[in-house]
Amino acid sequence: MLLKKEFYLFIILGIIFGIFSILVFMTRGRVLFFTKNKLRTGALILSITSILGLGLSAGSCMTVTCYSKPAHDIEINTSENNSISLSLSQNNIISGIINNEVNHNTNYYFKISDSKKIILQEGEVLVLDGTLDEFYQKFKIIIDTAIPKGEYSLDFYEIYSDGEQYFFENYLLIITD
């Protein structure tokens, strides 16, 4: 939080920086005294901002750029240590919550594959209320009962509106019968 004296300090430094900027502009940068003081004042503003932690990303734990996708988190109700044990004769539904800032141009999908990367089932994650409009989105997956017992990889991914796939979560799926 910005205290009163820091606020006034930034106002004064901003006015000084503005005055030096106008003087540099009026002299077309020919007077070295004005240029040096403009640069010093700007550097002082940046330094104080950094020291006080007032920058835009100072309080952020994670930075998302155009090259990296935002983090996702999936909580599955029956999961323990990223492992899901499922008896298809009793229950073939996996349910949980997707935690993220929902992008309305994104669809969520799952894929079940064996150790040889052969896909046994894939499909869209079924959102319980029908729309992707909440930060915590409840979902369910209906597992095909024809999948034989064994250990499989359950992968979650997104397909963006431009067709790009982005993998974001993996679980060990153990089908017991």
Give CA 104 to chain center in angstroms: 14
Give the C-alpha separation, 95 to 101, whole Å: 19
CA 160 to each of CA 3, 42, 166: distance values in angstroms, whole numbers, following the listed order: 43, 41, 8
Give the C-alpha separation, 42 to 34, whole Å: 12
For residue 47, the surrounding DSSP H or E stretch is helix 32-52
- Quick check: pTM over 0.75? no
Length of the chain as a residue count: 177
Identify the CATH number of the domain defined by range 73-175. 2.60.40.1220
| pLDDT over 80 (residue 13) | yes
Confidence category of residue 16, pLDDT binned at 50, 70, 90: very high
Average pLDDT score over the chain: 80
Span 77-134, pLDDT tens digits = 766 778 888 888 888 888 888 776 555 556 788 999 999 999 999 998 888 876 666 6
**Amino acid 130: pLDDT:** 67
